Structure 1
């Protein structure tokens, strides 16, 4: 679900409800209070969401999609790999700070158990964040760190987690740009001191953080292709993407056609992750 695919009414309900949940708590907030804040009827609410619980899931989905969309826009910025990596952290910190009251409420009340749908959403977000980190790390430090990628992602996750907790629990605003710069400097030191890898990619795949744990669908690829097409200007690449898009849109796509198109994307930073996913998709075809 892309953020911009939602209707204005749904976005209004999500934004107002998240404010009320953050202020009053999930259980203490009624559907009537939400509709009053939005200036709509209860009937209109239930045309958009089946229940308050389904609304809560949509709030998480909305927040996570918004974050992933902003992270995807990093590749449109005309900046170097170091500044791009710093922006990766700045965007995360900004979005978490924006919804920190809602996150805090969720942590305190533990309003809903982690069901299969929620687990799928969380794993998808973690996997996309992993892919973004992998791409940014490789662009900044080069292919030599590839064998250390799993360790770097885990170390980085531990560092960022501590700062996120400060952002959520502390109302004082941090300098996110300065913090991102500081974190990247610490990663410089870690990369310079790397020796023998400790963890393997398979361990992250086991907890849904990287591509080994995820089956890529044609629908997911079509969505990503639309995003990539908005961010590149090369006519040959756009034609290749059009061909791949057409193949993925039919039931029995032609594997050789897609494989042939992939050779046109060599050494293109923006399409690197898309190409990986396309190869995974092709490997899964009979």
Structure 2
């Protein structure tokens, strides 16, 4: 196991038992069997470790949700969306429990910006799903974003902090019914398009492009010669100088989608190329 991965796994165990603030770097290094110097070669601080954990889990959840919204048939889309959401919460339940408990504590500005970033990406995916299902002219579509996020938040907390068993299939079916009722029968919209985007914190598009190119270079350095590595090189070329047709770009994205090291970069590229 790589040292950075070991630190993240052992730190997560300690955070689950003690919380973020009560866990020291010394405790983490003792749990890993490494020196403090080795820890600081991987992470500059405990805060950076926490941010890396957030990135690790949110990248997986965000990319999984986006893939469902872009690839499932309309008749099964909403059910699959909710099922994947709650399956992810269950799969990463240790981290999710810590995050829900600790998010009311004081965190630095970088933490807040990171949470806003992932929240914006998830909202963008939810809006895309709503427009696919109910049409772009739905009067209450911006209210629907918050209704769906509310379902996700409330039911995930019940799911995570109750000892009672939860039937994910039944939960997903129930939320599909509730969401459809809201979409079809709610007629009074609180959020106009102007109000929705007025309160949204803008994402730096130039910063995203730089992030994607940096991610591509990082993955290219790590991957052995393979179709995934070749596809990444061509996708980087497409970002710098658009030369390929949409069909070719879609094929290149398909080549990297299922590689475990490329799921997040695949998500970023699909969003960048609007595919």
TM > 0.5 fold call: yes
Determine the structure 2 residue equivalent to 1:36.
30
- Could you tell me how far apart the structure 2 residues matched to 1:66 and 1:185 are? 27
Aligned pair 1:216/2:205, yes or no? yes
Deviation of 1:103 after TM superposition, in Å, equals 4.1
Structure 1: runs of 5+ lacking an equivalent? 1-6, 227-238, 280-286
Structure 2, gaps ≥5 residues long: 218-230, 255-265
The counterpart of 1:85, out of the listed 56, 78, 81, is: 78
Q: Deviations over 1:31-89 (max 9, x none)?
A: 23323333433322111011222212221222211211222332676x42232322222
Paired residue for 1:3? Answer: none
* CA–CA separation in structure 2 for the residues paired with 1:74 and 1:110: 27
Native 8 Å contact 2:126 2:145 kept in 1:
yes
Q: Which moves more between the two structures, 113-122 or 89-98?
A: 89-98
Worse-matched range after superposition: 104-113 or 170-179: 104-113
Is the 2:90–2:160 Cα contact (8 Å) retained in structure 1?
yes
Cα shift at 1:262:
7.5
The 1-side partners of 2:5 and 2:104 are apart by 21
CA distance in 2, matches of 1:55, 1:247: 33
Partner of 1:230: none
What's the counterpart of residue 27 of structure 1?
Answer: 21
- RMSD over aligned CA atoms reads 3.8
Q: Is 1:156 matched up with 2:145?
A: no
Contact persistence 2:97–2:160 (CA under 8 A):
yes
CA contact (8 A) 1:151 1:198 kept: yes
Residues 222/139 of structure 1: CA separation in 2 closer, same or farther (3 Å cut): farther
Structure 1 residues 249-286: Cα deviation after superposition (integer angstroms, max 9, x where no partner): 3xxx6xxx68x968999xxxx99x9798569xxxxxxx
Using a 3 Å threshold, how does the CA distance of structure 1 residues 20 and 264 change in structure 2: closer, same or farther? closer
2:108 alignment partner, one of 106, 112, 115: 115
The Cα shift of 1:21 comes to 0.8
Aligned residue-pair number: 242
Q: Cα 1:106–1:142, aligned 2, differ >3 Å: closer, same or farther?
A: closer
CA positional deviation for 1:111: 8.1
* Alpha-carbon separation, structure 2, partners of 1:225 and 1:148: 38
